Amino acid sequence: MKMVITGHTWGIGKALYDSFKSAEWEVVGLSRSNGYDIDADFDRVVEAAIGADLFINNAYRDKQQTKLVNALKNKVKKMIVMGSVSRHYPELIHTDYVQDKQELAEACRLISIDPAGIDILHLDLSFIEQPSSNNDPTAFTSDYVIKFDEILNAVDFWMTNPKIRQMEFRWKLTPFVFNQLKAAFPTLDPSRVTF
């Protein structure tokens, strides 16, 4: 079985890459570091993913994740798509990122209701734990983080229950983010935010 993943050198991408590798899958990682930039090298990324049993659409850059969903929706057997819970709060978080993740989720939903669509696991993620080697002072901080294992368990759930072809998991926003939002938007209705 062959798995292809974008953004495999760091964070949850690396954890997934290592996990499938240790389960004796043939794994192919595509990252800027080995010459597969999902923007500049888009066509080559698509080419490398065609025919995979599983494609993990992990790396984020602008509209590229959605473009990959559409380019590969009938060229791989299954796909895991890393989305963001922030897409549920577009009126609170006005960024291109949120809009991109909304478009990504809609592309997944359309495939999930298409009788000919491939199997898709769509994850609305919140803050994910950082590698201990991460010294980036600009990295997000948070009250809690999703542990890699929690995401690996969700993936495992979907992989081991193949009758459920289409699935979506949605994580909660954190209290830290909630408080940041409240500071930025004093009129925020707390019932709109999960924490």
Partner 1 sequence: MLKIGITGTTRGLGQALHDHFVNKGHHVTAFNRDSDMSAAVGCDLFINNAYGIQMSILNQLYASVGKMIVMGSIVTDFPDVEMPDYTYEKTKLEERVLELNLPNILLLKLSSTAYNDSQIVINAIEYWLANPLVNVISFRATGAPNR
**164 binds partner 1, rule: CB under 8 A:** yes
**70 binds partner 1, rule: CB under 8 A:** no
Do the beta carbons of residue 28 and residue 2 sit within 8 Å? Answer: yes
Compare residues 42 and 144 and give the one whose CB is closer to partner 1. 144
Q: Which of residues 124-153 bind partner 1 (CB under 8 A)?
A: 124, 126, 144, 146, 150, 153
Which stretch, 53-61, 63-71, 105-113, 130-138, contacts partner 1 (CB under 8 A)? 105-113
The tokens of 142 are what? 């948070």
**109 binds partner 1, rule: CB under 8 A:** yes
Please tell me whether residue 142 adopts helix, strand or coil conformation. Answer: coil
Q: Strands 26-30 and 2-6: what pairing?
A: parallel
Q: What contacts 173, CB < 8 A, 6 or more positions away?
A: 85, 86, 89, 126, 193, 194, 195
One character per residue 3-22, x = contact with partner 1 (rule: CB under 8 A): --------------------
Please tell me whether residue 183 adopts helix, strand or coil conformation. Answer: helix
**192 binds partner 1, rule: CB under 8 A:** yes
Which stretch, 33-41, 61-69, 110-118, 132-140, contacts partner 1 (CB under 8 A)? 110-118
Rounded Cα distance between 25 and 19, Å, is 9
